């Protein structure tokens, strides 16, 4: 149907532009004489398809305008919800609560959005007077009204008055502390109307928004992991940090913060709640003291943990049930900051009143929308943040892939930027509420590892498990091995493990210091069966791996008092991975060239030789190793161990 294709087109057109839509909000519709297609609740405009629209019978919607509903607020909204459901032809989709407003507007297409520029005007002290000044006396302004049936009746009343006064249907309806409706019979008309509105508003601004450049969140890794644990008394939370000039305008100035102390729109309450924490400390210790003091008081008073924290020197911090929700919180609250900043051009900001806030906080419809926006999962690594070095490909990529499916946030740390970014992108397609990021990392460089920790903390708020997987192998006997090659292998496999633990352990100690007593952090080295027994013509690799187990045991003794477990996993050979099967430099090829397998004439001869040594006749896979990783993370009775996963090739005495 051509009109539905056009509805999808215009929905995605605005839904993908953050100037118009934040957190997938707003709604759109198309109607003919008998039916109306309206965005279903909880569906994002940016990605909506035909399946994302609820279809309703207009003959059943129209009587709602005249029907007498209960005077009791809760009962009334329940009755309205039931009547909307009765009119819905697509039973598995809950229509937008604003469906009735879409239905009474006589134009075919309606696009309702919450653009930043529009709300700068609609959430200002001079909203109505400036609206008339900029757009003329015919501009239809609706003062703030609680969403739902009451707002529908108010809009209906205003539309009828407009028709009586001007003899025409309004194209634009402006809603105080809410947003805007634009309607027309073609999507081209709607685009032109929105374009004209934006042009007029942009010219009326006394000052534009500052640039959106990213600013440093200095020392975030010294504060945020502790705050994350303070907020995780009832299940692990994810935190995400953002800083830019508009955020710094508020985070660095106590007076400016008063402009954003209360919410401006229902959406802000749905995703960010209505109370926020602001911290003024000038050092990590003072920030930690403020957090330790204020967070318990906040939770006791409000009955929920803060979703939004603003920290001097660090920026805006979102705290949510998962990484996806944190992204939404940041987007919505940063938009509120922009609204407050731009509202100064229209007489200053105009937040919602406490009564208006309380209605939204307890309104069933918004609680439903809040629940729909929260992605639930029950993986074994749910909401844990795991850093994996050498995860762009091979074993590391395979482990990351398995852990993503278990609900973990993953940091792919690798020197190979092109492959690493591609891997992170692919893994993100497997995510629910969790996320995957790539951080370019050189495990032989302390500064690079410190940057890795900083980026991991800014993205997810913590590091629950550090998997030291990056490694190289260069085979060769005493006659072939050069000092340079030996040093190269040792620096990555041995020094790299030490450097990583040295840097990451600082963050893990901070976490466990403020964590519940049953919380343990993990460091897991992906070692090798070559760390358990010698390897002919492979001493550079085996020596580093033997040394790695010595480091594991020593680190375990040092870090046990901090509730940090340190263990190694010693896998057998991952024959399908690039380490072994790379056609240009894989181990099968290297071992063939060095004559490590007597009588072998082909790569396949080498492969068969190694499989014959495994009692279970199989190589070790990333899935096998991930099961070991999950076991080590879940148990709290062992540290300093080397866990073999070799198919029986290496058995411990």
What are the pLDDT digits (tens) for 158-170?
999 999 999 999 9
The residue written with tokens 């006396």 in the block is 137
The yes-or-no verdict on residue 17 having pLDDT over 60 is: yes
- pTM greater than 0.95 (yes/no): no
d(CA 299, CA 496): 41
Q: Are residues 121 and 346 in contact, defined by beta-carbon separation less than 8 angstroms?
A: yes
d(CA 121, CA 175): 10
Q: Which of the given ranges, 72-76, 288-292, 358-362, has the highest pLDDT on average? A: 288-292
pLDDT the model gives residue 635: 97
The yes-or-no verdict on residue 374 having pLDDT over 80 is: no
Q: What is the mean pLDDT of residues 151-155?
A: 95
Class of domain 2-204: alpha beta
Compute the CA torsion angle 585, 590, 593, 598 (nearest 10 deg): -150
The yes-or-no verdict on residue 145 having pLDDT over 80 is: yes
Residue 497 is a catalytic residue: no
Please list the alpha-helical segments (H only) found in 231-305.
245-251, 254-257, 266-272, 284-302
Q: What is the mean pLDDT of residues 504-531?
A: 97
Confidence of residue 369 (pLDDT cuts 50, 70, 90): very low
Q: What is the mean pLDDT of residues 112-140?
A: 98
Percent of the chain whose predicted confidence (pLDDT) is above 90: 87
Backbone angles phi, psi at 37, to 5 degrees: -105, 120
Mean pLDDT of all residues in the chain? 94
Confidence of residue 370 (pLDDT cuts 50, 70, 90): very low
Q: What is the mean pLDDT of residues 588-608?
A: 91
Q: What is the mean pLDDT of residues 340-345?
A: 98
Q: What is the mean pLDDT of residues 20-43?
A: 93
Alpha-carbon distances of 446 from 201, 287, 382, rounded to whole Å: 50, 26, 29
Give the containing element (helix H, strand E) for 180. Answer: strand 179-184
d(CA 22, CA 270): 12
Count Cα neighbours of 69 within 13 Å in the Cβ-side half-sphere: 21
What are the pLDDT digits (tens) for 409-443?
999 999 999 999 999 999 999 999 999 999 999 99
> What would the two tokens of residue 311 be?
């920290």
Backbone angles phi, psi at 467, to 5 degrees: -105, 110
State whether residue 294 is helix, strand or coil: helix
Taking each helix axis from N to C terminus, what angle separates 2-15 and 187-204, rounded to the nearest 10 degrees? Answer: 20
pLDDT the model gives residue 143: 97
What are the pLDDT digits (tens) for 168-217?
999 999 999 999 999 999 999 999 999 999 999 999 999 999 998 999 99
Class of domain 220-373: alpha beta
Confidence of residue 340 (pLDDT cuts 50, 70, 90): very high
pLDDT the model gives residue 536: 86
Q: What is the mean pLDDT of residues 40-58?
A: 94
Taking each helix axis from N to C terminus, what angle separates 394-404 and 417-428, rounded to the nearest 10 degrees? Answer: 20
d(CA 222, CA 522): 18
Compute the CA torsion angle 143, 146, 148, 152 (nearest 10 deg): -20
Confidence of residue 615 (pLDDT cuts 50, 70, 90): very high
Confidence of residue 371 (pLDDT cuts 50, 70, 90): low
d(CA 339, CA 174): 16
Residue of 497, 541, 591, 610 marked catalytic: 541
Q: Work out whether the CA dihedral 370, 333, 211, 195 comes out positive or negative.
A: positive
Nearest to 4 by CA among 90, 100, 118: 90
What are the pLDDT digits (tens) for 462-477?
999 999 999 998 989 9
Backbone angles phi, psi at 436, to 5 degrees: -125, 135
pLDDT the model gives residue 311: 97
Alpha carbon 238 to chain centroid, angstroms: 9
DSSP codes, 374-430: S-----TTTT-EEEEET-SSHHHHHHHHHHHTTT-EEEEEES-HHHHHHHHHHHHTT
The yes-or-no verdict on residue 368 having pLDDT over 80 is: no
Instruction: List, by residue range, all CATH 3.40.50.720 domains of the chain.
Output: 385-572+614-645
Confidence of residue 377 (pLDDT cuts 50, 70, 90): low
Give the containing element (helix H, strand E) for 577. Answer: none
pLDDT the model gives residue 375: 57
The side-by-side arrangement of strands in the sheet containing 385-389 is: 436-440, 409-414, 385-389, 465-468, 521-526, 564-571, 642-645
Alpha-carbon distances of 335 from 241, 260, 450, rounded to whole Å: 15, 11, 31
Q: What is the mean pLDDT of residues 576-591?
A: 86
Q: Work out whether the CA dihedral 580, 582, 586, 588 comes out positive or negative.
A: positive
The yes-or-no verdict on residue 652 having pLDDT over 90 is: no
Instruction: List, by residue range, all CATH 3.40.225.10 domains of the chain.
Output: 2-204, 220-373
Percent of the chain whose predicted confidence (pLDDT) is above 70: 98
Backbone angles phi, psi at 277, to 5 degrees: -110, 130
pLDDT the model gives residue 519: 97
Question: Which residues have a Cβ under 8 Å from the Cβ of 443 and sit 6 or more positions away?
Answer: 389, 390, 413, 449, 468, 470, 492, 496, 497, 499, 500
pLDDT the model gives residue 366: 47
CATH architecture of 385-572+614-645: 3-Layer(aba) Sandwich (3.40)
d(CA 190, CA 111): 8
Count Cα neighbours of 242 within 13 Å in the Cβ-side half-sphere: 22
According to DSSP, residue 351 is labeled: P
How would you classify the pairing of strands 409-414 and 385-389? parallel
Q: Where are the beta strands (DSSP E) in 87-178?
A: 109-113, 140-142, 172-175
Alpha-carbon distances of 320 from 211, 335, 375, 391, 516, rounded to whole Å: 27, 18, 11, 26, 18
Alpha-carbon distances of 177 from 108, 356, 441, rounded to whole Å: 26, 10, 45
What are the pLDDT digits (tens) for 302-333?
999 999 999 999 999 999 999 999 999 999 99
Q: What is the mean pLDDT of residues 541-562?
A: 97
Alpha-carbon distances of 389 from 134, 537, 614, rounded to whole Å: 56, 26, 28
Confidence of residue 42 (pLDDT cuts 50, 70, 90): confident
């Amino acid at each position: 149907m051509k009109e539905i294709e056009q509805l999808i087109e215009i929905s995605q057109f605005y839904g993908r532009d953050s100037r118009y839509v934040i957190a997938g909000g707003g709604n759109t519709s198309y109607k003919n004489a008998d039916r109306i297609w309206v965005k279903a609740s909880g569906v994002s405009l940016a990605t909506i398809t035909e399946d994302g629209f609820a279809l309703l019978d207009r003959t059943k919607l129209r009587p709602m305008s005249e029907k007498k509903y209960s005077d009791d607020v809760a009962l009334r909204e329940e009755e309205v919800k039931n009547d909307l459901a009765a009119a819905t032809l697509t039973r598995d989709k809950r229509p937008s609560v604003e469906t009735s407003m879409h239905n009474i507007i006589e134009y075919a297409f309606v696009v309702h959005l919450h653009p930043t520029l529009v709300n700068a005007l609609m959430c200002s002290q001079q909203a109505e007077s400036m609206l008339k000044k900029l757009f003329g006396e015919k501009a239809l302004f609706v003062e703030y009204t609680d969403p739902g049936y009451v707002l529908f009746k108010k809009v209906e009343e205003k539309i009828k008055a407009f028709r009586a006064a001007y003899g025409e249907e309004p194209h634009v309806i402006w809603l105080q502390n809410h947003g805007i409706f634009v309607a027309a019979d073609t999507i081209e008309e709607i685009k032109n109307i929105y374009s004209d509105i934006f042009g007029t508003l942009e010219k009326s601004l006394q000052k534009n928004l500052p640039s959106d450049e990213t600013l440093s969140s200095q020392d975030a890794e010294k504060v945020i992991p502790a705050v994350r644990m303070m907020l995780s008394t009832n299940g692990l939370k994810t935190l995400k940090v953002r800083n830019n000039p508009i955020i710094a305008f508020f985070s660095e100035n106590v007076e400016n913060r008063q402009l954003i102390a209360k919410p401006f729109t229902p959406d802000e309450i749905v995703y960010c709640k209505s109370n926020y924490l602001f911290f003024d400390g000038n050092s990590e210790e003072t920030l930690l003291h403020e957090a330790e003091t204020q967070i318990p008081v906040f939770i006791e008073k409000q009955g929920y943990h803060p979703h939004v924290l603003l920290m001097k020197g660090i920026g805006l911090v979102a705290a949510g049930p998962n990484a996806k929700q944190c992204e939404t919180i940041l987007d919505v609250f940063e938009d509120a900051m922009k609204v407050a900043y731009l509202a100064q051009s229209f007489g200053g900001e105009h937040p919602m009143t406490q009564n208006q806030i309380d209605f939204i906080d307890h309104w069933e419809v918004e609680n439903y929308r809040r629940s729909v926006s929260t992605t639930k999962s029950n993986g074994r690594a749910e909401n844990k943040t795991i850093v994996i070095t050498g995860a762009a490909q091979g074993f590391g990529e395979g482990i990351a892939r398995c852990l993503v499916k278990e609900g973990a946030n993953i940091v792919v740390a690798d020197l190979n930027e092109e492959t690493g970014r591609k891997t992170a992108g692919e893994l993100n397609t497997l995510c629910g509420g969790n996320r995957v990021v790539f951080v370019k990392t050189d495990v032989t460089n302390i500064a690079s590892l410190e940057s890795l920790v900083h980026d991991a903390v800014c993205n997810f708020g913590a590091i629950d498990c550090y998997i030291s997987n990056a490694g190289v192998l260069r085979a060769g006997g005493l006659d072939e091995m050069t000092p340079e090659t030996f040093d190269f292998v040792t620096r990555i496999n041995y020094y790299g493990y030490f450097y990583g633990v040295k840097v990451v352990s600082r963050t893990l100690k901070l976490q466990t210091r403020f964590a519940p007593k049953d919380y343990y952090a993990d460091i897991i080295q992906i070692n090798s069966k070559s760390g358990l027994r010698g390897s002919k013509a492979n001493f550079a690799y085996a020596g580093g791996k033997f040394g790695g187990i010595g480091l594991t045991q020593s680190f375990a003794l040092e870090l046990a008092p901090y509730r940090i477990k340190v263990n190694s996993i010693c896998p057998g050979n991952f024959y399908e991975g690039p380490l072994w099967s790379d056609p240009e430099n894989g181990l099968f090829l290297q071992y063939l060239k060095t004559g490590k397998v007597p009588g072998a004439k082909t790569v396949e001869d080498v492969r068969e030789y190694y499989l014959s040594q495994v009692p279970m006749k199989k190589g070790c896979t990333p899935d096998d190793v991930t099961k070991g990783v999950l076991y080590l993370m879940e148990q709290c009775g062992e540290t300093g161990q080397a866990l073999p996963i070799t198919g029986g090739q290496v058995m411990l005495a």
